[in-house]
Amino acid sequence: MRRLEGLAARWGRLAGWLTLVLMLALAGEAAAHGVAEDDKAFIQGNPGVHIAPYVYLGAKHMVTGYDHLLFLFGVIFFLYRLKDVAHYVTLFAVGHSTTLLFGVLTGVHANPFLIDAIIGLSVVYKALDNLGGLKRVIGFTPNPKGAVLVFGFFHGFGLATKIQEMSLSRDGLVPNLISFNAGVEIGQFLALSAILILMTLWRRSETFGRSVLVANTALMSAGFVLIGYQLSGFFLERA
């Protein structure tokens, strides 16, 4: 029994640090948030309805979307019941889907650097929330579910600004966007499943309690890196 517990502890430590390394590595690849050049070429060069390719592109975006994964990592950090995870992730999906579809279909636009800076702020916010520091910083603790929904709106609108930069054909736009959004949700499910498996192993180890401060400080630092990168792009663009 002790041998099994020791093995579980070692796997837990490894899982925890693998999760952190993965999150921070994704955060460092700031260019990954945009749409890849080959994906742009496909979208712009193939008008009409293409259900399967757009599902794939949506799933690919979420799996490689470091900003979404960092935020969701923070959201589920202290969620131990699958029911709670489902509630919060559903709120994020509703927010993300709403502004993605609304932004592209209506043409409502904002500066992508500023939207992505707010997305970086969402990562900082969640890390600070996990550390119990929100009340000290802003004087109160916002409703956690409401915050996830609101930041979900910004995450979806951030992607909408990227899609708006391309010359999209109106032919098949609605079914393609719905397919893309379905792919995003599939990708989110796959990515979260992997993260939850690693985190479950990590939580079973003795190191989890001692690593909470380090993990969320690292998460907050990644959020500040994202904010700095996007604000730098905004000011360089205007220079």
| pLDDT tens-place string over residues 164-199 | 877 677 788 889 889 989 998 999 999 999 999 988
> Residues with Cβ < 8 Å from 235, sequence gap 6 or more?
none
Distances in whole angstroms, Cα of residue 97 to Cα of each of 185, 197, 223 = 9, 25, 22
Tokens of 165: 């930069």
Distances in whole angstroms, Cα of residue 186 to Cα of each of 60, 74, 205 = 9, 20, 30
CB of 100 within 8 A of CB of 115?
Answer: no
Residue 1 has pLDDT above 50, yes or no: no
Question: What number is the average pLDDT over the span 117-143?
Answer: 90
Tokens of 91: 């709120």
Question: What number is the average pLDDT over the span 209-234?
Answer: 91
Q: Where are the alpha helices (DSSP H) in 165-206?
A: 173-203
Residue 109 has pLDDT above 90, yes or no: no
> Residues with Cβ < 8 Å from 79, sequence gap 6 or more?
85, 88
Closest to 127 in 3D by CA, of 90, 75, 66:
75
Alpha-carbon distance of 187 to 66, in angstroms, equals 12
Q: 24-75 pLDDT, tens per residue?
A: 544 444 444 556 667 666 776 677 788 888 898 888 888 888 888 899 999 9
